[in-house]
Structure formats: C-alpha cells, structure tokens
C-alpha cells in the first residue's frame, strides 16, 4: 500500500537522482565538479518547484494528500 510517506520519499529520491544525473552530465561536459554540483542543485530546485506546482499546486488538502499517496514512481519526469 502506498502512503503519503512513500510519496514524499518518491519526491525526495527523484530530486536527488535528478541532481546526480545533472551534475554527472555537466562534469562529463567539462564543468568542474564543484561548479557542476552547484549548478545541478539550482537546476534541480527549479525542476522540483515546477513539478510540484504542476502535479500538486492547485489541490485542496484532501486532494494533495491523495496525490502524495498515489504518486507515480518518477514525478519529476512529468
């Protein structure tokens, strides 16, 4: 059974995975690792904020709770 806690974990894990992948792509493209991590963090924060707004932004409390409980595996890919 999916729970709100699992939905939150999905969002957090998705954000961390997105940041890791972004940083690695930047490093592979020649950006210094320290700068790549900073840029990846900024890009990920923006992506998470946009995805949260798109997926959960206009919901009332009950819908928001349900949205977290039924969250798909990769919410940042929408």
Q: Is 59 left (phi over 0), alpha (psi -120 to 50) or beta?
A: beta
Residue 5 has pLDDT above 90, yes or no: no
Predicted confidence (pLDDT) per residue in 10-58, tens digit = 888 889 999 999 999 999 999 999 999 999 999 999 998 888 888 778 8
Burial category of 66 from C-beta neighbours within 10 Å (exposed 0-12, middle 13-18, buried 19 and up): middle
Number of separate helices (H) and strands (E) present in the chain: 3, 0
Residue 76 has pLDDT above 80, yes or no: no
In the prediction, which pLDDT does 9 show? 85
**Which pTM does this prediction carry?**
0.74
């Amino acid at each position: 059974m999916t729970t709100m806690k699992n939905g939150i974990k999905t969002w957090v894990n998705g954000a961390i995975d997105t940041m890791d992948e972004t940083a690695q792509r930047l490093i592979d493209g020649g950006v210094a690792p320290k700068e790549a991590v900073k840029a990846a963090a900024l890009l990920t924060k923006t992506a998470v904020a946009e995805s949260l707004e798109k997926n959960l932004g206009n919901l009332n409390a009950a819908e928001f709770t349900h949205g977290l409980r039924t969250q798909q595996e990769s919410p940042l890919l929408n």
